[in-house]
Amino acid sequence: MSEATDGRRVALITGAGRRRVGNVVARAFARRGYAVAIHYRGSAAEAKETVEELRAVGCSAWPVQADVAVEADVVRMVRAVQEQFGRIDVLVTAAAIWQPTPLEELTADDLLRHLSVNTVGTFLCCLYVGRVMVQQPEGGAIITIGDWAIERPYRNYAAYFASKGAIPTLTRMFAVEFAARNPRVRVNCILPGPVMLPSDLDPGERAEAIAGTLLRREGTPEHVAEAAVFLAEHGYITGVCLPVDGGRTIAPFSA
């Protein structure tokens, strides 16, 4: 018997094992009463710890492993979540990689590695979870995670930006495709700004990133999580790409 027979909504959050944005998003949905599937690729110990912490406070949580760049893994993951909970109401695609590489050192392998996880991984998760959602009378909500800086890319992340640049198009395409099959399936995108800068980032670069926002402060993963919950629960928004960037995209000054 599945854990979701009491009518509890179910959210699958990819990239939620490590203590990064996906993990914070998963905890936000758990606090809202969702059963949460905590996806991880290699962070088994961290995912297990998160699940134990959520269960200790009465939340329904379950870890699931997959390499989102591998189609068979995604199929297995989606099937496992269905079998565990009985349904999938929300998908948030937070799994991603980003590796800074100077343009002079960049290779096709660097690009393909980013494309496989960030682009193909997002596509596959949306595709297979979306197929589940169109069969559910209540439909479901998919939230992809892009990046504000695809509009104003900065140096040394060419492979990453190429892979993330496809996410808004995937979002709009899936919004159209799934709504044609079940108008209760919605697909939206979040474009985060400086919400979780690397701890080892050069202090000058950190100050520059923050100064480049209109709000002149760093955001938090919680800001992304709040946006994800909002998009999941707002029944009349689809095909939208929402910057959560403190105004970084439209700032009239350059940082």
CA distance to 34, 39, 187, per residue, from 134 (Å): 20, 22, 12
pLDDT single digits (tens) 177-188: 999 999 999 999
The pLDDT > 70 percentage for the chain reads 96
Q: Is 39 helix (H, G, I), strand (E, B) or coil?
A: strand
What are the tens digits of pLDDT across the range 207-226? 888 888 999 999 999 999 99
In the chain, where are the structural domains located? 10-244
**What is the per-residue pLDDT across 66-83, written as a single tens digit (0 to 9) for each?**
999 999 999 999 999 999
pLDDT given at position 6:
65
Taking phi first (over 0 means left), then psi (-120 to 50 degrees means alpha), and beta for anything else, what does residue 239 get? left
Q: Which two tokens stand for residue 247?
A: 């105004």
In 3D space, the residue among 77, 83, 80 whose CA is nearest the CA of residue 95 turns out to be 77
Q: Which of 20, 56, 58 is nearest to 39 (CA)?
A: 20
pLDDT of residue 5: 42
Q: Give the pLDDT confidence score for residue 253 in this predicted structure.
A: 66
CB atoms within 10 A of CB 222: 14
pLDDT at position 255 over 60: no
* H or E element in which residue 10 lies: strand 10-14
* Alpha-carbon dihedral 140, 174, 116, 64, rounded to 10 degrees: 10
Checking if the pLDDT of 2 tops 70, the result is no
Annotated catalytic residue 160: yes
Partner residues linked to 11 by β-bridges? 36, 90
**pLDDT tens sequence across 12-30:** 999 999 889 999 999 999 9
pLDDT of amino acid 254 = 56
Q: What is the pTM of this model?
A: 0.94
For residue range 103-162, list pLDDT tens digits in order.
999 999 999 999 999 999 999 999 999 999 999 999 999 999 999 999 989 889 999 999
- Taking the C-alpha atoms of residue 121 and residue 165, their distance in angstroms, rounded to an integer, is 14
The residue from 34, 128, 157, 160 that is catalytic is 160
Q: How far is 132 from 139, CA to CA, in rounded Å?
A: 9
Mean pLDDT of the chain: 94
Bridge-based pairing state of the strands 90-93 and 10-14: parallel
Confidence at 3, pLDDT banded by 50, 70, 90: low
Query: For residue 4, what pLDDT is reported?
Result: 45
Separation of alpha carbons 231 and 185, rounded Å: 12
Q: What is the mean pLDDT of residues 238-247?
A: 97
Domain at 10-244: CATH code: 3.40.50.720
For the stretch 93-118, pLDDT in tens is: 999 999 999 999 999 999 999 999 99
